C-alpha cells in the first residue's frame, strides 16, 4: 500500500491511503501487546485504550461481521487483531497521521482511532465538504448520514477496505500493479457492504461521489498512478480512488464475488508481473469487458 503523507486539508482524499510510518511490520502486534491494554476476546481479538471500551466493542462486532461473511462466502479463515487506540498509544505504533485506518502485514493488526474528533480524516473533512454540491449533500442525507457526521462514518468505512487487503492476500490475489491491488481491496469491502450492510454501501457511494465531484486531478492515467505513486498529491489520490470505485460497482453488479474466481482462472493471481497497466487491462478485458473503456474515460474525466 501507499506510503505517503496524508494531506489533512482534504480528508476524503485520505480514503483508502496507507500509513507513512516506517516501522517493522512484524513488530506491530508485539508493540500493541506491549501497551498492556484492556482487551476483548473473540474471533477478532481487540485491544483498546482507556475509555474506548464501547467503541472497541462496536468496531469488533462490525469487523467480525465482515470476517464471518468471507468465511462463509469464500471459505477462508482470515486471522487478524484489532487495536482501537488513543492518539498517545497510536504514536507508539505508528508515526503519523492519527486516525487513518491501517492494517499491517501478517500477523495482521488493524489500527482504528479511539478518538474520532482527533482523527486527521475528521479534522480535514470540512475542506472537501465546503465544495460539495447541494445534490450530493441531499444524497448523503438520503443515505441516512447527516452531513455533519459524514467524516465519522467515513473514518470507519475505511476499515472495511483495509480488511479487504487481508482478504485479497488470503485469496492469493495480491497484485503487483498498485492500482488493481487498491481496486480489489475496495471490491471485497464493497461486496461485504452490499450483501450485509447496504446502508454503508449507500453512504460509501455518496462519499465517493463527493470525491469525484470535489477533487481536481493533475495525474489521471493508470500509468501515472504506477509511475508517480509516491508523488501523487493526496487530493489526486482520492480522485483515483473514486475512479476505482466506479469500476468496482460496475463489475460487482454483473459478477458479484464470482469475479474473484474468474481472476484466478484467468491467471491474474499474486506475484504475476505485467509489462504495463495496458497489459493488465487487456487481460482484464477478456475476463470482464469494460476495463479498457473505463481506463480511457478516466483519462478524459478531469474536473
DSSP letters spanning 237-290: HHHHHHHHHHHHHHHHHHHTTHHHHHHHHTT--TT---SSHHHHHHHHHHHSTT
* Mean per-residue pLDDT of the chain: 88
Residue 36: strand, helix, or coil: coil
Task: Give the chain's largest Cα–Cα span.
Answer: 52
Domain boundaries, the chain: 11-300
Closest to 188 in 3D by CA, of 74, 280, 287, 42: 74
CA atoms within 13 A on the CB side of 244: 24
| 156 three-class SS | helix
State the 10-residue block means of pLDDT for the chain, 303 residues long: 38 42 66 97 97 98 96 93 98 89 93 95 74 88 88 91 95 96 97 96 92 86 93 84 95 97 97 96 97 92 51
Percent of residues in the chain assigned helix, strand, coil, to nearest 5: 60, 5, 35
The answer to whether 125 and 154 have CB atoms below 8 angstroms apart is: yes
Nearest to 184, CA basis, from 292, 262, 87, 239:
262
CB 280 within 8 A of CB 268: yes
Helix (H, G, I), strand (E, B) or coil at 123: helix
Interval 107-131: pLDDT, tens: 999 999 999 999 988 887 766 677 8
Residue 24 confidence (pLDDT)? 54
Q: In Å, what is the CA distance from 123 to each residue of 4, 18, 115, 209, 284?
A: 18, 18, 11, 20, 38
CB atoms within 10 A of CB 34: 11
Please tell me the distance from the alpha carbon of residue 110 to that of residue 82, in angstroms, as a whole number: 5
Cα–Cα distance between 236 and 241 in angstroms, integer? 9
Q: How distant, in Å, are the alpha carbons of 72, 217, 218, 219, 275 from that of 300?
A: 40, 11, 12, 11, 23
Q: What are phi and psi of 289, to 5 degrees?
A: -55, 140
CATH class of 11-300: mainly alpha
C-alpha span between 100 and 14 (Å, rounded): 8
Phi, psi dihedrals of residue 21, rounded to the nearest 5° = -65, 135
Residues 6+ apart with CB under 8 A from 145: 153, 203, 206
CB 151 within 8 A of CB 10: no
CB contact at 8 A, 190 and 216: no
Q: Is 203 helix (H, G, I), strand (E, B) or coil?
A: helix
Amino acid at each position: 500500500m501507499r506510503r505517503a503523507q496524508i494531506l489533512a486539508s482534504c480528508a476524503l482524499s485520505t480514503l483508502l491511503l496507507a500509513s507513512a510510518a516506517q516501522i517493522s511490520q512484524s513488530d506491530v502486534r508485539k508493540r500493541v501487546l506491549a501497551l498492556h491494554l484492556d482487551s476483548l476476546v473473540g474471533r477478532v481479538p481487540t485491544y483498546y485504550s482507556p475509555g474506548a471500551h464501547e467503541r472497541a466493542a462496536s468496531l469488533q462486532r462490525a469487523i467480525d461481521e465482515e470476517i464471518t461473511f468471507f468465511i462463509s462466502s469464500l471459505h477462508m479463515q482470515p486471522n487478524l487483531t484489532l487495536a482501537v487506540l488513543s492518539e498517545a498509544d497510536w504514536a507508539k505504533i505508528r508515526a503519523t497521521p492519527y486516525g487513518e485506518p491501517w492494517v499491517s502485514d501478517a500477523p495482521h493488526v488493524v489500527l482504528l482511532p479511539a478518538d474520532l474528533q482527533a482523527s486527521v480524516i475528521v479534522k480535514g473533512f470540512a475542506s472537501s465538504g465546503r465544495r460539495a454540491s447541494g445534490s450530493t449533500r441531499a444524497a448523503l442525507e438520503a443515505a441516512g448520514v447527516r452531513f455533519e457526521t459524514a467524516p465519522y462514518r467515513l473514518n470507519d468505512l475505511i476499515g472495511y477496505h483495509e480488511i479487504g487487503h487481508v482478504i485479497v492476500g488470503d485469496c492469493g490475489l495480491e497484485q503487483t500493479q498498485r492500482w488493481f491491488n487498491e481496486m480489489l481491496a475496495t471490491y471485497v469491502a464493497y461486496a461485504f457492504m452490499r450483501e450485509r450492510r447496504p446502508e454503508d454501501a449507500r453512504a460509501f457511494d455518496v462519499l465517493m461521489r463527493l470525491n469525484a465531484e470535489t477533487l481536481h486531478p493533475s495525474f489521471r492515467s493508470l500509468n501515472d498512478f504506477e509511475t508517480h505513486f509516491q508523488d501523487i498529491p493526496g487530493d489526486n489520490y482520492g480522485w483515483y480512488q473514486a475512479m476505482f470505485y466506479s469500476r468496482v460497482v460496475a463489475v460487482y453488479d454483473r459478477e458479484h464475488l464470482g469475479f474473484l474466481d474468474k481472476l484466478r482462472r484467468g491467471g491474474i493471481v499474486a506475484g504475476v508481473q505485467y509489462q504495463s497497466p495496458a497489459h493488465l487491462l487487456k487481460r482484464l478485458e477478456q475476463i470482464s469487458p469494460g476495463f479498457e473503456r473505463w481506463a480511457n474515460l478516466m483519462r478524459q474525466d478531469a474536473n
